[in-house]
Amino acid sequence: GAVVSQHPSRVICKSGTSVKIECRSLDFQATTMFWYRQFPKKSLMLMATSNEGSKATYEQGVEKDKFLINHASLTLSTLTVTSAHPEDSSFYICSAIARGYSNQPQHFGDGTRLSIL
């Protein structure tokens, strides 16, 4: 089955640090990848939609300069949290849609738990 790998699974770092999270589709090409954020005991909130080779589309209220998204290839998208602060601590999850398989569910990565001290 389609596998989405997310790395790292957990990050603990100091305030002011920039953190990069990778999302890879291991056995399929992903035309579109999504980045979600989830606070404890809350639902998933879409942050941005990433299409290969073009700029990401951010949801209202998401700071583009703080959450940098790059989708340089059909198998990799990255989310960089720049100058992270404690309020950025959250569970970040990516998902991907397989090219040519739009009737399949989005395939989710295992998530990255980000803790900013």
Partner 1 sequence: ELKVEQNPLFLSMQEGKNYTIYCNYSTTSDRLYWYRQDPGKSLESLFVLLSNGAVKQEGRLMASLDTKARLSTLHITAAVHDLSATYFCAVEETSGSRLTFGEGTQLTVNP
- Binding residues (CB under 8 A) for partner 1: these are 6, 31-32, 34, 41-46, 49, 93, 95, 97, 102-111, 113
Shortest distance, CB of residue 54 to partner 1, whole angstroms? Answer: 15
Shortest distance, CB of residue 47 to partner 1, whole angstroms? Answer: 10
Shortest distance, CB of residue 113 to partner 1, whole angstroms? Answer: 8
Of 43 and 54, which has the nearer Cβ to partner 1?
A: 43
Rounded CA-CA distance 24/55 in Å is 18
CB burial class (10 A; 0-12, 13-18, 19+) of residue 21?
buried
Look at residues 55, 85, 59 and name the one whose alpha carbon lies nearest to residue 70: 55
